[in-house]
Amino acid sequence: MIIVGLDMMGGDFAPLEAVKGAAAFFAENPLSVRMLLIGDKEKIKNVLLMHPLPEELIEIIHAPQVIEMHEHPTKALKEKPDSSIAIGFQLLATSKIEAFISAGNTGAMMVGALFTIKTIDGILRPTIGAYFPRENGSLGLLVDVGLNADCKPENLNQFALLGTIFATHILNIENPKAGLINLGEEEGKGNHLAQATFPLLKENKHLNFVGNIEGRDILLDKADVMVCDGFTGNVVLKLAESIYDLIKRRNIEDEHFERFNFETYGGVPVLGVAKPVIIGHGISSNVAFKNMIKTAVKMIEIDFTGKIKNSFIND
């Protein structure tokens, strides 16, 4: 049986939303997964009184320490070996769990992932992406959204492939179109990075490269995997997130814009590390937690990291 580790102390509403998310997952997928709930035992038990989970499928792993959102990642991990994040990565490294999910301190999650489970051989830098809703109901993927502020062309080329593998196997998009975010459509346009990246993507036989895409294409389905450096991607993601806030402030009801509520997506995996790690938004709702668990289970079921390893070995 698949075993997933869930950080119960991450996010602004811990551990309530994580418990509710797990409950929603079990309601949809009974008997499919075992979950290790990592965090303060008393707090978790208190929430479980109101929101019970199937006892035979869960185990509470007590973690008396919590890494707060503002703490320095490396320092916090070192000084808090009994934090839910530190314990989660130990469980993952020792194969007690097959995937680790947290909506906690993003930096600490990244440092933990890089130092305990490491990147897949051949991958220069892991990346994190974000889903973008499209009007046809599907999701696009933007990579990188902030993990790598400065990038080299080789990084973007790898992000494009990692994103393509994710879009293919997790988003179920057949032969996903990969686009390079740029300031113009024509080949040769762009800053130095985009100009140097274009030929790499064009020549990468594992990609369905559709060329440059512009800012106006990001909310469309011109490309399924949209690649850029983490600086641009982070600004783009946060701008897109703010559209939802603006829509709400204007009291607009619209089915499509409802999907701009990024809180419900629950983050995408760290792409390029050796085991499934999913980092959620600090404001993750129970829907987000449910979706993160679903994604983690799917990644385990299809051996997602194995597929990445194969792609990079055969490259």
Q: Can residue 283 be called a binding residue for its own copies (CB under 8 A)?
A: no
Binds its own copies by CB under 8 A, chosen from 238, 283, 303, 306: 238
Q: Can residue 69 be called a binding residue for its own copies (CB under 8 A)?
A: no
Give 194 or 299: the residue with its C-beta nearer to its own copies. Answer: 194
Bridge pairing between strands 270-271 and 58-62: unpaired
Shortest Cβ 237–its own copies spacing (Å): 6
Q: Is 133:38 a contact under the CB 8 Å cutoff?
A: no
Q: Can residue 235 be called a binding residue for its own copies (CB under 8 A)?
A: yes
Give 149 or 302: the residue with its C-beta nearer to its own copies. Answer: 149
Q: Is 75:81 a contact under the CB 8 Å cutoff?
A: no
> Measured between alpha carbons, how far is 193 from 135 in angstroms, rounded to an integer?
30
Backbone angles phi, psi at 281, to 5 degrees: -65, 145
Give 56 or 255: the residue with its C-beta nearer to its own copies. Answer: 255
Stretch that binds its own copies, among 120-128, 171-179, 239-247, 300-308 (CB under 8 A): 239-247
Binds its own copies by CB under 8 A, chosen from 150, 174, 205, 314: 150
Sign of CA dihedral 309, 2, 279, 134: positive
HEC string of 48-76? Answer: HHHCCCCHHHEEEEECCECCCCCCCHHHH
Question: Considering only CA atoms, which of 257, 258, 261, 279 is closest in space to residue 270?
Answer: 279
Q: Can residue 192 be called a binding residue for its own copies (CB under 8 A)?
A: yes
Q: Can residue 75 be called a binding residue for its own copies (CB under 8 A)?
A: no
Backbone angles phi, psi at 143, to 5 degrees: -130, 140
Binds its own copies by CB under 8 A, chosen from 23, 240, 270, 274: 240
Q: Can residue 249 be called a binding residue for its own copies (CB under 8 A)?
A: yes
Residues in the chain, total: 315
| Chain contacts with its own copies (rule: CB under 8 A) | 135, 146, 149-150, 181-183, 190-192, 194, 214-220, 228-232, 234-243, 245-246, 249-250, 252, 254, 256-257
